[in-house]
Structure 1
Amino acid sequence: MKIPSITLFKTKSHDAGWFAIGLGLHGIYLAKVRLAGAMPRVERCEYHETGTVTAALLEKLRREADIDDHDVATLLAPGEYQLLLVEAPNVPVDEMKTAVRWKIKDGLNYHIDDATVDMVRIPASKYSSGRPQSLYAIAAANNIIRERIGMFEQAKLALNVIDIPEMAQRNIAALFESDDRALVVMTFDDFGGLLTFTAGGELYLSRRIEINVGQLLDANENLRQQYRDRVETELHRSLDYFDRQYNHLPVDMVLVCVPDNTGLVEFLASAMDTRVQKLDLSQVMDISAVPALADSEFVAHSLPTLGAALRKESRVL
């Protein structure tokens, strides 16, 4: 069976928005966003508790949710792909993907011939012309891609794109960005924490944090404080690294998406020199049709799927 590549960029216009389907540990997230108008309008954002996610459950949801006539995107979970930062090979564009495959082959957990690979360029600074350009290589095992495509085919869902949380988070961040400044977004869900640095709608830096939302909500206050301290340390390190690599891009602020009762936003706001605020979707999106998005815990879990529904690339790498 031929394995289609993970397509991060398509030429087709999607102003009407995507129907994004996220597979959680115990259920399915659905999101639909309309991009026309003054700000994106969330038409749907919901979670369906299913236990183990199967093609039969997806098909049932397809019928109930009336997804048939929509472009569909889904997300890989963190353990289903690798994101590798590499120096861009000095080759013609049409040879880039082959060169990148060769470059990352020793960093994969499986043979390169068994990998589906795509890439995202990191914008070069006009102030560092001598520095080689970097890119992120996205690699997933063919069997992972095959299983995901097969599940959606069995559910009679026309899957257009397989995306990753980093790019979905970049879509969310782009709504909050200020000109000529970088934005940090930090999110936590069942899979752990994700820290991204973006500017101008582009992803510059991404780091995983091995702390999940359940740990930040632990009943033991001493443990919760240990987790908060670890998050602070990782944020400090990442800010320092970003400043060394991209000192032409000052960081505007850090937006944190986490349940309110973790106390993490308040803790970081008092501990960091950089401005830290809660990520508030109502500032940049019309969420009036989905009252559940007023709940911080629901937002924390559904944000990756919501970000995937914001996808609107119109260029090709």
Structure 2
Amino acid sequence: MAFWHKAKKKDGWLAVSAAAEGVTAAVVRRRADAKPAVLAAAFHPGGRAEAAGLIARVGRELDAPAHLCSSILVPGEYQLLAVEAPNVPADELKTAVGWRLKDLIDFPVPEATIDVLDIPVAPNGPAHNHQVFAVAARNGIIEALQNLYTEAKVELGAIDIPEIAQRNISALLEPEGRGLAMLAFDAHGGLLTVTFRGELYLARRMDIGLAQVEGAPEARQSLFDRIALELQRSLDNFERQFQYVAVSKLVLAPTGSASLHDYLSANLYLPVDLLDLDAVFDLDKVPQLRDAAQQARFLTVLGGGLRDEGAVA
């Protein structure tokens, strides 16, 4: 999915996230017969007022002119909603979905930039069960982001969201013919996704940040209980809605600590694997990303760099 997209063929993707804590970026190149290669990565702390300068800096360090560039929105800058798919021609889909959102988003539809991602239906399933994901952001947010990259003198090729970045990594881990659940935490909270055959079927946010997961041991029991309960409810609801998708396991993205993995392994009915991005990407050029804490920081931009356009053999 390209929430906003004007790609030209270049050598892989430079994915950038400008958040309150700083700018994170990585360059990823897909390869036909090998793991995707991470060519470079950088993080520079700083507030949003410094974002243009920080984006310019990572653009120089990571050779932005040699790559397609995508910017990944942060939670609060967009809304992601599952809605019934309108029965309209493809060229009218975004407009029709927009009007379905008019009572679901907190700003007027004419002020929204909207994109749509299909949720595949079951083989021979009823058409009335067909849903799509709709992404909506205020036009002003998109324009401000474009202006930020113009000021930084970095050519922006696409705008994405974290759910799609996480889907891109999850799709590489799916067992043949089965779905995969993935749970990740960052400064903005937790994100649970379920993918099947490379498509995003579920995306749920948890109001629990990475700092809480890594917090004091005495506070973890109730927090981990809450995470497990939210996971169980979400996965139970998913199984009822998508009975044709068998979820094989839950993959927990790195958090810098093994405590949550150990807890979920003992308390969930699904097998729980701890993700090591070294098994997904070729990290030889960025060995610092073999550290679990660094993997937690760079997870979203690495997933954002796995876009299909610009792939090379």
**Same fold per TM (> 0.5)?**
yes
Q: Shorter chain as normaliser: what TM range?
A: over 0.9
Instruction: Using structure 1 for the length normalisation, give the TM-score.
Output: 0.92
Q: Distance in 1 between matches of 2:5 and 2:76?
A: 25
Partner of 1:226: 222
Partner of 2:291: 295
Please state whether the residue corresponding to 2:134 is helix, strand or coil.
Answer: strand
Q: Distance in 2 between matches of 1:123 and 1:217?
A: 36
Partner of 1:138: 135
Question: In 2 relative to 1, CA 133–253 (structure 1 residues): closer, same or farther, beyond 3 Å?
Answer: same
Counterparts in 2 of 1:197-216, with a 5 A limit? Answer: 197-216=194-213
Q: Deviations over 1:36-74 (max 9, x none)?
A: 241111111221223443212322332333212321001
Q: Distance in 1 between matches of 2:242 and 2:205?
A: 19
Q: Distance in 1 between matches of 2:220 and 2:11?
A: 42
Does the 8 Å contact 2:26/2:42 carry over to 1? yes
| Larger CA deviation: 184-193 vs 42-51 | 42-51
| 1:305 and 2:301 correspond | yes
Does the 8 Å contact 1:190/1:301 carry over to 2? no
Please state whether the residue corresponding to 1:298 is helix, strand or coil.
Answer: helix
Please state whether the residue corresponding to 1:106 is helix, strand or coil.
Answer: coil
Q: Distance in 1 between matches of 2:127 and 2:17?
A: 41
Q: Distance in 2 between matches of 1:164 and 1:41?
A: 21
Counterparts in 2 of 1:11-30, with a 5 A limit? Answer: 16-30=11-25
Q: Distance in 1 between matches of 2:243 and 2:167?
A: 20
Q: Distance in 1 between matches of 2:299 and 2:71?
A: 13
| 1:153 and 2:150 correspond | yes
Please state whether the residue corresponding to 2:278 is helix, strand or coil.
Answer: helix
| 1:244 and 2:240 correspond | yes
Q: Distance in 2 between matches of 1:65 and 1:12?
A: 18
| 1:31 and 2:23 correspond | no
Partner of 2:259: 263
Q: Distance in 1 between matches of 2:60 and 2:288?
A: 22
Q: Distance in 1 between matches of 2:57 and 2:100?
A: 42
Q: Distance in 1 between matches of 2:267 and 2:159?
A: 37
Please state whether the residue corresponding to 2:244 is helix, strand or coil.
Answer: coil
- Structure 2: where are the runs of 5+ without partners? none
CA drift at 1:13:
7.7
Q: Count matched residues.
A: 308
CA drift at 1:176:
0.3
Partner of 2:189: 192
Q: Distance in 2 between matches of 1:166 and 1:136?
A: 11
Question: In 2 relative to 1, CA 130–96 (structure 1 residues): closer, same or farther, beyond 3 Å?
Answer: closer
What letter matches 1:159 in structure 2? Answer: L
Q: Distance in 2 between matches of 1:300 and 1:54?
A: 21
Does the 8 Å contact 1:123/1:133 carry over to 2? yes
Does the 8 Å contact 2:115/2:136 carry over to 1? yes
Counterparts in 2 of 1:84-99, with a 5 A limit? Answer: 84-99=81-96
Q: Deviations over 1:195-251 (max 9, x none)?
A: 0000111000100011000011222x2322221111101110111011101111111
Does the 8 Å contact 1:83/1:139 carry over to 2? yes
Q: Distance in 2 between matches of 1:58 and 1:266?
A: 38
Q: Deviations over 1:136-163 (max 9, x none)?
A: 0000001110111000001111001000
Does the 8 Å contact 2:3/2:115 carry over to 1? yes
Q: Deviations over 1:161-192 (max 9, x none)?
A: 00000000000011101121110010000000
Please state whether the residue corresponding to 2:97 is helix, strand or coil.
Answer: helix
- Structure 1: where are the runs of 5+ without partners? 1-5
Q: Distance in 1 between matches of 2:61 and 2:280?
A: 29
Q: Distance in 2 between matches of 1:174 and 1:15?
A: 23
Q: Distance in 1 between matches of 2:267 and 2:10?
A: 40
Cα RMSD of the aligned pairs, angstroms, is: 1.9
What letter matches 1:142 in structure 2? Answer: N
What letter matches 1:70 in structure 2? Answer: H
Does the 8 Å contact 2:7/2:157 carry over to 1? no
Please state whether the residue corresponding to 2:102 is helix, strand or coil.
Answer: helix
Q: Distance in 1 between matches of 2:78 and 2:26?
A: 22
Partner of 2:99: 102
